[in-house]
Structure 1
Amino acid sequence: MANLFFICSKNQWRSPTAELLFKNHPVHLAYSAGTSDKARIRISQKMIDRADIIFVMERKHQQLLKQRFDMTGKQLVVLDIEDNYQFNDQELVAILEEVLREYL
């Protein structure tokens, strides 16, 4: 079982939507957090350490992680999904299903 960690800015729309795709998944466990001080759930080193694969929505999230946390040995994937969607938006779900196909 792989721990998949999804990160966006405020952990309100994109990363929780990605996490929801993996609810009750038979192989992967997913969780999410945000990089902002105003995030619903704020990212921590403990969350990073627990992750097998870290997915960030934008390159700015990748840069923030590398500046603030020890990312040694972590697999980091940039999804390039801009902050243009609401939680569980059908277009966002379709994009996530496409880019995460090999994990779903």
Structure 2
Amino acid sequence: MNILFVCTGNTCRSPMAEAILKEKSSHQVKSAGISAIKGVPVSEETTEALAAINIDHTSVATPVGDELVDWADLILTMTRQHKQVLATRFSYAYEKIFTLKEYASDDAEDLWKELKQAHLNLEEKRAVVHEEHGDQQTELQWRAFLREEQDEIERLEKQLPNFDIKDPFGADLEAYKKTRDEIDEAIDQLLKKIN
């Protein structure tokens, strides 16, 4: 399975997840960032936090793009906001985009299925409206047409547990280790699910 981890800058969380999963499995793994600047090295604290658990990892930031999204069978983000950005930018890949902790967890699985269906309903209605009216609709008209579906998505999202992994960027090494441990635990759960 090809797994892509995504965070903001691809210098902290997603490289940690990539390195840990590579260490624990034979899956093909890459990482990228929504706002990554190509070639920026992984943070020193990330390298040190991984070295503390005997994982040697150095890499440089890669922006997420169509090529990586197409390559991935599964895209795992560090926050719900990352997931939403990717789902907007790469709507064709929505069904394979999750937060790491959401996908790894069995908590609220039925709720996630309802939310996924609500997103599919929204996209289907958007396609029908676009087919019937083309690009003639204003932003206000689009919102009115899709209000019911958007309200349902918001209602379901409010019921979800928090599956975000906090960004340690700019914090001390202990914060990076805490983030590493949180990612490590989620990856253990992920492996139980996908193996």
Instruction: Say whether 1:91 aligns with 2:181.
Output: yes
Amino acid paired to 1:75: K
Amino acid paired to 2:74: I
Amino acid paired to 2:190: L
- State the alpha-carbon separation in 1 of the partners of residues 62 and 97 from structure 2: 19
Same amino acid, percent of matched pairs? 28
Radius of gyration: which is bigger?
2
TM-score by length of 2: 0.45
CA contact (8 A) 2:5 2:76 kept: yes
Higher relative contact order (CA 8 A, sep 6+): 1
Q: CA offsets per residue over residues 28-53 of structure 1, 9 Å max, x none?
A: 11100000153621001110001001
Instruction: Say whether 1:71 aligns with 2:92.
Output: yes
- State the alpha-carbon separation in 2 of the partners of residues 68 and 93 from structure 1: 25
Q: Which segments of 5 or more consecutive residues in structure 2 lack a partner in the other structure?
A: 39-60, 102-162, 169-174
Q: How many residues align?
A: 102
Q: Which has the higher helix share?
A: 2
Shift of 1:21: 1.5
Q: Which segments of 5 or more consecutive residues in structure 1 lack a partner in the other structure?
A: none
Equivalent residue runs for 1:23-102 within 5 Å: 23=22, 25-26=25-26, 28-38=27-37, 40-72=61-93, 74-78=95-99, 79=101, 80=163, 81-84=165-168, 85-86=175-176, 90-102=180-192
**Change in 2 beyond 3 A, CA 1:90/1:45:** closer
Amino acid paired to 1:101: L
TM-score by length of 1: 0.78
Tell me the equivalent position of 2:119: none
- State the alpha-carbon separation in 2 of the partners of residues 19 and 61 from structure 1: 16
Tell me the equivalent position of 1:10: 9
- State the alpha-carbon separation in 1 of the partners of residues 66 and 178 from structure 2: 27
- State the alpha-carbon separation in 2 of the partners of residues 37 and 73 from structure 1: 21
Aligned-residue RMSD, C-alpha:
2.6
Q: Secondary structure at the match of 2:64?
A: coil
**Change in 2 beyond 3 A, CA 1:100/1:44:** same
